[in-house]
Amino acid sequence: MSRIGKKSIILPPGIQSEITESTVTIVGPKGKLSYNLSKMINIENNNNKLQLSPIKINKESKALHGLSRTLINNMVIGVSKGFKKKLEIRGVGYRCQMNKNDLILNIGYSHPVIIQPPKGISIKVEDNINIIVEGIDKEKVGQVAAKIRSTRPPEPYKEKGIRYSGEIIRKKVGKAGK
């Protein structure tokens, strides 16, 4: 059995879970998330503790056991606290701004890059160089942050581009002249 899957998920106060046949819905102060559970995994709610267990023990159910537990735990954290990713823009003349809900990036291209966040994701800009992506769904937050970063990934020679906050880019030495 999966070591991660064996751990029970403790529901904090104010978080409710609804379990139907194969759907788990978590409701909290920040919103509502649901997940379609595999038919190979069984879930039980005992005194605000969710416990997952595989019905049959085979290779696929072992993999889904830990995965399902992690996804449901991320849903519980998302509806109670939420998720946040911070990005930094580095480069001369590089900046960003918000226009209603759209993020406008001026990052060295001949045109501004406009990114529209999906439903449930909010983007904030601080000091025209810091971007904060927030939401309750960890997967969407990470995907939007990765999409923003991919518009101008950090390059190792001049260290220009968009990077995650705290990300370390190893600087390379340029070409050695004669």
- Residues 75, 17, single domain; the answer is yes
- The number of distinct structural domains making up the chain is 2
- Residues 10, 53, single domain; the answer is yes
- Residue-level pLDDT at 1: 59
pTM attached to this predicted model:
0.88
pLDDT digits (tens, 9 = 90+) for 144-173: 999 999 999 999 999 899 999 999 999 998
- Residues 87, 142, single domain; the answer is yes
Q: Is residue 57 in a domain?
A: yes
Q: Taking every pair of C-alpha atoms in the chain, what is the biggest distance, in angstroms?
A: 73
What percent of the chain has pLDDT above 70? 98
Query: Residue 66, SS3?
Result: helix
Q: Is residue 174 in a domain?
A: no
**Residue-range definition of the domain harbouring residue 55:** 3-80
- Residues 18, 88, single domain; the answer is no
What percent of the chain has pLDDT above 90? 75
CATH number, domain with residue 159: 3.90.930.12
pLDDT digits (tens, 9 = 90+) for 89-123: 999 999 999 999 999 999 999 999 999 999 999 99
- Residue-level pLDDT at 78: 95
CA pair distance 173, 176, nearest whole angstrom: 8
- Residues 117, 60, single domain; the answer is no
Q: Is residue 171 in a domain?
A: no
Per-chain mean pLDDT for the chain? 92
pLDDT band, residue 10 (cuts 50/70/90)? very high
Domain termination site, one of 33, 48, 80: 80
Q: Is residue 61 in a domain?
A: yes
- Residues 57, 108, single domain; the answer is no
Q: Which residues pair with 86 in a beta bridge?
A: 132
